[in-house]
Amino acid sequence: MNVMTPMDQAGTHVWQGAAASAQADRDHDRVGLLSPGELDRASLLAPDTARLYLASHVATRRILAGYLDRDPAELQLGRRVCPQCADPLHGAPAVSWPRTTLSFNLTASGGSWLLAVTHGQPLGVDLAIASGTDPERAAPLALTAQELDRLHRLTDPQLRRALFLRAWTRKEAVVKAVGVGLVTDLRQIEVAPERPGPVRVRFGVGSSPREWTVQDLPLGPGRFAAVARPAPAAGRVQLCEYSDQALYALAPLSSQAAIAA
């Protein structure tokens, strides 16, 4: 893991963590930072899913608070208005208070989570775990005709699974950046999963950007992830391991960069 550097004006930090970790154990004592809505949501989940939800949401508040130089419990998190239907309940996540240009997106799967953070632009991130994935059943519901053709040309099951998950995470990162999620027909979004990336992807609704730079994240065997930013994307994408020590070293963004006037 690279040593974390301050986020520049165009850069993106992608934090990663896990529910089964010493850090998550420490954060379990910090669930009081969460809103009543978050705690209610966690109470409805199965135990393993609830643990991942709580770990990722506590981490999200602590990380965002570190950039904003605020108490994590003070943050108010909500959503942007959906660019497709103008519904304020299911757009992209956002910091409602304090006013800020900071943008973030959270994803979790298989006991792990990723939090992508930047400012001044939308972004999306997605994570998928290879174990248990059946591309034969899911691919017809998610891939374009061209992508299906490329999948069917592969005979090795591992290569087929990898191509499908590369396509899936790229598509999910884009629709999450737009703020429309799974209401979108993923079969209409071409992401060139046979290419290593970054790739340019065309998709947008309403006032959202229409073209995205999608970059795969190197998380190691069995884990697939991608981050989407408006094209042409500038600045580096840096992976950051979530820990108390990393948070203590996090330099808050300047008021000019992070706080809207």
Query: Domains in the chain and their CATH numbers?
Result: 12-250 (3.90.470.20)
105-119, 168-182, 219-233, range with the lowest pLDDT: 168-182
Stretch 235-258: mean pLDDT: 81
Q: Is the pLDDT of residue 82 over 90?
A: no
Please tell me which residue, 197 or 245, carries the higher pLDDT value. 245
Give the pLDDT mean for 218-238: 94
**257 exposed, middle or buried (CB, 10 Å; 0-12, 13-18, 19+)?**
middle
Q: Cis omega (within 30 of 0) on the bond before 232?
A: yes
Neighbours of 193 (CB within 10 A): 25
At 259 the pLDDT is 45
- Average pLDDT along the chain: 90
**What mean pLDDT comes out for the span 234-241?**
92
Identify the pLDDT of residue 243: 97
In this prediction, residue 1 carries a pLDDT of 40
- Return the top range by mean pLDDT from 19-23, 207-211, 248-252: 19-23
Residues 6+ positions from 72 with CB-CB distance below 8 Å? 30, 33, 58, 61, 62, 64, 65
Q: Which amino acid is at 134?
A: D
User: Mean per-residue pLDDT for 205-222?
Assistant: 93
List of residues 6+ apart from 12 with CB closer than 8 A? 116, 117, 118, 123, 227, 229, 235, 236, 237, 238
The yes-or-no verdict on residue 255 having pLDDT over 60 is no
Q: Angle at Cα 97 formed by Cα 82 and Cα 34, nearest 5°?
A: 90
Residue with tokens 């959503």: 79
In this predicted structure, what is the pLDDT of residue 10? Answer: 64
The answer to whether residue 261 scores a pLDDT higher than 60 is no
Residue 251, number of CB atoms within 10 A of its CB: 12
